[in-house]
Amino acid sequence: MNSKQKMAIRAAKEINDGNIVNLGIGIPTLVADFLPKEKIVFLHTENGLLGVGPTPSKEELDPEIINAGKLPVTAQVGASYFSSSESFGMIRGGHVDVAILGALQVAENGDIANWAVPGKEILGVGGAMDLVAGAKKVIVTTQHCAKGGEPKILRSCTFPITAKNVVSLLITEYAVFRFENGKMILEELTEDMTEQELKEMTPAEYIVSTTLSNYQV
């Protein structure tokens, strides 16, 4: 099991029975394969499907059933299809319980930047700005540092911000942080990472929870 799958499994634990959940591109799409079987969860995608199922096998693959990231998905029994405008109406109307997104940067106060890198081609903010504003809970799953080793969890974002003070929970391959009243709180830490090592790679200021526990999947 790789680190991305572990993050997806940890994120899946945050989903409650009956939730309507939108999964962003990247690590979040993996969550669909790790949802607890005992829970009824309705996965939503911006291009117009409520009731997304697990990743299809070669035999199940239907090129006409895709998510917003153009990846093939399955549809659960009872799934519904609708227009993109109706889909965004659901998001903007506050009908999505949880949005799980990737991020380029996250700030210690819960700001998120996940749509543009200065100096690189910009395709547009997409549905991210609607999801972070409309979802009741925003969970970020992301690698702790960028590919070049640059920190992604900062005092403040240096990339264009998608939304301010919206992140509820941040899950990386090393730690889980909760955001509360503008404060960042370390809740879980992997067994192979010390608090000092984490601090050295995390410029953001955060509080260590009095109930700090092991990050396990």
**CB-count burial class (<10 Å; 0-12, 13-18, 19+) for 191:** exposed
Could you tell me the two tokens for 34?
Answer: 């790790």
The torsion region of residue 21 among left (phi > 0), alpha (psi -120 to 50) and beta comes to: beta
Considering 14, 46, 173, 191, which one is annotated as catalytic?
A: 46
Q: Minimal CA–CA distance to 165: which of 146, 144, 138, 185?
A: 138
CA-CA-CA-CA dihedral for 153, 195, 30, 178, to nearest 10: -60
Residue 63 neighbours by CB distance under 10 Å: 6
86 is catalytic: no
| 3-state secondary structure at position 100 | strand
Element (H, E) at 33: none
Active site residues: 46
